[in-house]
Amino acid sequence: MVRHTMRRLMPKAVRDRLKSSRQYEAVLARRLASTSKRLDICSAQFAQDFHLSRCPSLSGKVCPEIGSGWVLSHALLCHLLGAKTVLATDIVSHAHPEVLHTAIQESVASIIRDALAPFEDHSLLRSRLDDLLRIRHFDLDVLERLGIQYLAPFDFARDRLGVPVDFVFSHSVLEHVPCEDVRALLDNVSADLSPGGFMISDMHLEDHQDISGDPFGFLSLPGKEYSRSLQAARGNRIRKSVWQGYFNGMTGTRSRFIYEWSRGDKELPAHIDQSVRHEGTADLRISHIGVYTERPQCAGPADRCT
């Protein structure tokens, strides 16, 4: 309580400098590593996506992650599942690989193995996990030896990786991409996706400023005031129906929703700004979506390939 009171009393400029400091990021990264970025929790997320999408093996694959964040837990999962190369990318260089020790050691190893076993040979999975458990200090050099490359800053809306990739993953990232950059980002990602390659995109469509109390509050804000920085911080407000159009527009691929969840416990704003494109109340209330995208194994139109 005292810490929070002192923070409120600080001048805004001081608070902003504190939040942007490497030391502050490290504190938050350690907190994430012992909570939502624990390897067993992220394993459960991966397993849900893989079961729902019926996606193929990652063994021997090249696997970029869009927006790997402060804690590179999902990159480690790709390694556990046999990926040859993992490309952990982010628009800003702010990874803290040292906290991966916490993300692993505070997990329940049997849960990681059980969650991932349907997607990789169990003996190989166990061996790789045992090797991770023996690592006492993680840094970018250690990750390189595991086949995990950290690429940051890297902006998919501006550049392509320029190499064929087999599996592209993002978790709660695309909803933070400014609207004007979304199509370019998806075009660049799909251009590198190899035949037979696939992509899983998990998105959280609520207002990230107040997910619990007012998850739809940002839908009322005037479009001309909803800047790129607000879109990056609170979410770009793109609804499921519009995401469907974006994914259907990716050249040479086909996409399907593997899940969607809605919020009925909170009210929508009385006024929805006209800049928010939607297909009615049900569309506005969708809070989470998962999209599976694949490039078929042939050179013809996607709808004629198998």
CA distance 146 to 225: 45
Which pLDDT band, with edges at 50, 70 and 90, does 304 fall under? low
Residue 104 counted as domain residue = yes
Instruction: Count CA atoms within 13 Å of residue 292 on its CB side.
Output: 17
Q: In whole angstroms, what is the distance from residue 294 CA to residue 168 CA? A: 10
Report the 10 Å Cβ neighbour count for 195: 14
Give the tokens for residue 143: 């990750």
Q: pLDDT at position 23, please? A: 87
CA distance 230 to 152: 22
Give the residue numbers spanning the domain of 158: 32-304
Please state, for a pLDDT cut of 90, what percent of the chain lies above it: 88
> Which pLDDT does position 21 carry in this prediction?
73
pLDDT tens, residue by residue, 249-293: 999 999 999 999 999 999 999 999 999 999 999 999 999 999 999
Mean pLDDT of 154-163: 97
Dist. CA 26–CA 32, nearest whole Å: 10
Q: What is the mean pLDDT of residues 209-227?
A: 97
**pLDDT higher than threshold 70 for residue 216:** yes
Q: Which pLDDT score, from 0 to 100, does residue 16 have?
A: 53
* pLDDT tens-digit readout, 167-189: 999 999 999 999 999 999 999 99
Is 253 domain-assigned?
Answer: yes
Q: What pLDDT does 214 receive? A: 98
Closest among 84, 277, 248, 296 to 179, alpha carbons compared: 277
Q: Within a domain: residue 133?
A: yes
Average pLDDT over all residues of the chain: 93
Q: What is the DSSP string of the chain?
A: -HHHHHHHHS-HHHHHHHHTSHHHHHHHHHHHHTTTT-HHHHHHHHHHHHHHHT----TT-EEEES---SS-HHHHHHHHTT-SEEEEE-SS----GGGHHHHHHTS-HHHHHHHHGGGS-HHHHHHHHHHHHH-----HHHHHHTTEEEE-S--TTT----S-EEEEEEES-GGGS-HHHHHHHHHHHHHHEEEEEEEEEEEE-S-TTSTTT-TTGGGGS-GGG--HHHHHHH-----HHHHHHHHHTSTT-EEEEEEEEE--SSPPPSS--TTS--SSHHHHHEEEEEEEEE--SSSS-GGG--
Provide the pLDDT for residue 54: 92
Q: How many angstroms separate the Cα of 256 from the Cα of each of 106, 187, 205, 240, 271?
A: 35, 17, 17, 12, 31
Report the pLDDT averaged over residues 294-306: 66
CATH number at residue 92: 3.40.50.150
| pLDDT tens digits, one per residue of 101-116 | 999 999 999 999 999 9
Torsion of CA 87, 41, 172, 152, to 10 degrees: -30
Amino acid 277: pLDDT: 98
Question: What would the pLDDT profile of 39-57 be if each residue is shown by its tens digit?
Answer: 999 999 999 999 999 988 9
pLDDT 10s digits, 120-151: 999 999 999 999 999 999 999 999 999 999 99
Taking alpha carbons only, the member of 232, 230, 242 closest to residue 277 is: 242
| Sheet containing strand 193-204, strands side by side | 148-151, 85-89, 62-65, 165-171, 193-204, 286-294, 254-262
Task: Look at residue 5 in the predicted model and tell me its pLDDT.
Answer: 40
For residue 21, is it within any domain?
Answer: no
pLDDT higher than threshold 90 for residue 300? no
81 belongs to a structural domain: yes
Mean pLDDT, range 3-11, rounded to an integer: 45
- Is 8 contained in some domain? no
**Total number of domains in the chain:** 1
Is 19 a domain residue? no
Distances (CA, A) of 99 to 23, 104, 211, 217: 13, 9, 26, 34
> Is residue 15 included in any domain, yes or no?
no
